[in-house]
Structure 1
Amino acid sequence: MVDVRQAIHFEQAEKMNTEELRKHFLADSLFAPGEVRSVYTHYDRMVLIGISPTDAPLVLGADLAKAAGADDFLDRRELAVINIGGGNATVTADGESYLLENEEALYIGKAATGVSFASADPKNPAKLYAVSAGAHTKFPNRKVTRAEASPQPMGSAETANKRTINKYIHEGLMQTCQLVVGLTRFEAGSVWNTMPAHTHDRRMEAYLYFDMPEDRLVVHLMGRPQETRHIIIRNEQAVVSPPWSIHCGSGTGAYAFVWAMAGDNQSFSDMDHIKIQDLK
């Protein structure tokens, strides 16, 4: 089953109550053992996918292909997948198998064939998060390790945002059609991302928050800078950030999140910063 989310204008979003905001922008059940679950957004046609292989390999099925209007889901799409926890995973594409350890990623180019996802040890199942965007040409499949993601320390303990940014899929490392993907992890005692807030009108973004215990949450801020709203997010839930929206937040403790972007511009630094004094 593919959960389809229509694009929402900011004037409509500003009239929504809590339940409506969660319905349109939150993906709260992407992961289930032995299943592939997905959210197809109409923001730059990005698709968010939770893949939880147990004792048998999983594939991107006919429901996703139908949503994309193709014989196979990846006929006109590229895919990035990252192992967010549990055991190691084996991902097969174009006749080659890739072992993904925790927080390793794989880029799969347009029109890849024979794509499947398996847990290397079914007794210790992997948990994979994938994002997909439209693609106009095929670029080579490539695995990216944590070291290749160029970990970049940022922030400080004084401002409660000491973190490490890992850029997995980006123009400085490889060519893609649209996708830019990375992972940010906070140190103990730091909780704020990303302040000052920013927007980037040329592309959308989605966040998967993870590595949080059951009693931890993140208050995710969204909306226009002068019309902010919030969504409460828990472990392994994702949120869609439209181009008109800020995206920042604070947790009740440290956490990690995968960020993924698609749209006109692939430059990581292309963003419009919002002064803290201008937020309302």
Structure 2
Amino acid sequence: MRTIDAASPAHVATLDTDGLREAFLAEDLFVPGRVSAAYLLSDRIAVVGAVPLDEGLRLPTYDQLRSETFLQRREAGVLNLGGAGAVTVDGERYELATTGSLYVGRGAREVVFTSDDADDPAAFYLFSATAHLDLPTTLVTPEAMNVVEIGSEDDANRRTLHQCIYEGGTRSAQIAFGFTTVHRGSVWNTMPAHTHARRTECYLYFDLAPQDRVFHVMGEPSQTRHLVVADRTFVFSPPWSLHTGVGTGPYSFVWATAGENTTYDDMDAVPVTRMR
């Protein structure tokens, strides 16, 4: 598990491209046959990528967590980015097709990831935060997701948003979690950009073609920076940083927050006229 330090605006202003990528990206979460992880000191978020092949992969714990099991004091949201598979939690198996989602409650002792077909493996993304509530592990069926159509073709940001773990739906202690698909012909994943003063937000870009990239915009509104990211790249935005992105082709992304609350619309918009 790699540790990613919290970053201040003053420090970010001194970084070159390689420094920015080291501070805000994880590009190697999805390695076939392995479990890979990163730990953010910002809001104590942990993220995991698991790509099981012929054998299941068990979710380990890590020294950074100082816990008997990964979820001893944590909860998690899971999304499958690959082929069909399953997540088994304490002996109960949950089938997850592509973009299938699962909430795993605090205290789960054993989590195992499996693929139905090693030639088309599942790719599980797990987003975890500390939890103060015991809530049941819940399969998030398509019917349980809140689906919202937002944006417009005129503004090049028409997209379909799926809320998987959210207030009024599948509950969590502090996680909000879902995914968005940008419609063909649109490019922006959100506009205007925004910040979350009370939460850290993380993006995991997926379904990009090999030749495509997303230009992810971050930083203070008056000191913006950009990161060029490829398929299955993780990027995080600290509470002081705005976030938006524009792609060269169709793509989707998982969005997830942890921090002071779980209110989806607790955000502060940054009009593009204020960005520099």
The TM-score normalised by the length of structure 2 is 0.98
Aligned to 1:215: 211
Question: Residues 236-255 of structure 1: matches in 2 within 5 Å?
Answer: 236-255=232-251
Aligned residues: 276
Question: Residues 90-109 of structure 1: matches in 2 within 5 Å?
Answer: 90-109=86-105
Aligned to 1:5: 4
Is 2:43–2:200's contact at 8 Å kept on the other side of the alignment? yes
Question: Residues 146-185 of structure 1: matches in 2 within 5 Å?
Answer: 146-185=142-181
Structure 1 residue identity aligned to 2:174: Q
Could you tell me how far 1:137 is from its partner in structure 2? Answer: 2.2
2:78 aligned with 1:78: no
Distance 2:46 2:89 in 1: 19
Distance 1:232 1:276 in 2: 20
- CA deviation string 1:28-65 (max 9, x = no partner): 11111110001100110111111100011111224x2x
Distance 2:28 2:89 in 1: 26
Structure 1 residue identity aligned to 2:71: L
Could you tell me how far 1:274 is from its partner in structure 2? Answer: 1.1
Could you tell me how far 1:278 is from its partner in structure 2? Answer: 0.7
Distance 1:80 1:120 in 2: 21
Is 2:85–2:114's contact at 8 Å kept on the other side of the alignment? yes
Q: Secondary structure at the match of 2:18?
A: helix
Q: Secondary structure at the match of 1:126?
A: coil
Query: 5+ residue gaps in structure 2?
Result: none
Q: Secondary structure at the match of 2:58?
A: coil
Could you tell me how far 1:221 is from its partner in structure 2? Answer: 0.3
Is 2:140–2:170's contact at 8 Å kept on the other side of the alignment? no
Could you tell me how far 1:122 is from its partner in structure 2? Answer: 2.8
Distance 1:189 1:43 in 2: 35
Could you tell me how far 1:275 is from its partner in structure 2? Answer: 1.5
Distance 1:17 1:124 in 2: 38
Could you tell me how far 1:67 is from its partner in structure 2? Answer: 1.5
- CA deviation string 1:156-177 (max 9, x = no partner): 1111101001000112102211
Q: Secondary structure at the match of 1:207?
A: strand
RMSD of the TM alignment (CA)? 1.0
Aligned to 1:206: 202
Aligned to 1:31: 30
Which of residues 92, 106, 109 in structure 2 aligns to 1:110?
A: 106
Extract structure 1 runs of 4+ deviating beyond 6 A. none
2:139 aligned with 1:140: no
Aligned to 1:234: 230
Is 1:74–1:111's contact at 8 Å kept on the other side of the alignment? yes
Distance 1:168 1:174 in 2: 7
Question: Residues 263-278 of structure 1: matches in 2 within 5 Å?
Answer: 263-278=259-274
Identity rate of aligned residues, in percent? 42
Structure 2 residue identity aligned to 1:105: S
Distance 1:56 1:105 in 2: 21
Q: Secondary structure at the match of 1:174?
A: coil
Distance 2:91 2:195 in 1: 40
Distance 2:25 2:225 in 1: 13
Could you tell me how far 1:113 is from its partner in structure 2? Answer: 2.0
Distance 1:178 1:75 in 2: 16
- CA deviation string 1:110-143 (max 9, x = no partner): 0102211111233331111111100122100101
- Mean Cα displacement is larger for which, 31-40 or 172-181? 172-181
Structure 2 residue identity aligned to 1:81: V
Distance 2:119 2:214 in 1: 30
Aligned to 1:192: 188
Aligned to 1:19: 18
Is 2:161–2:179's contact at 8 Å kept on the other side of the alignment? yes
Could you tell me how far 1:73 is from its partner in structure 2? Answer: 1.1
Q: Secondary structure at the match of 1:238?
A: strand
Aligned to 1:40: 39
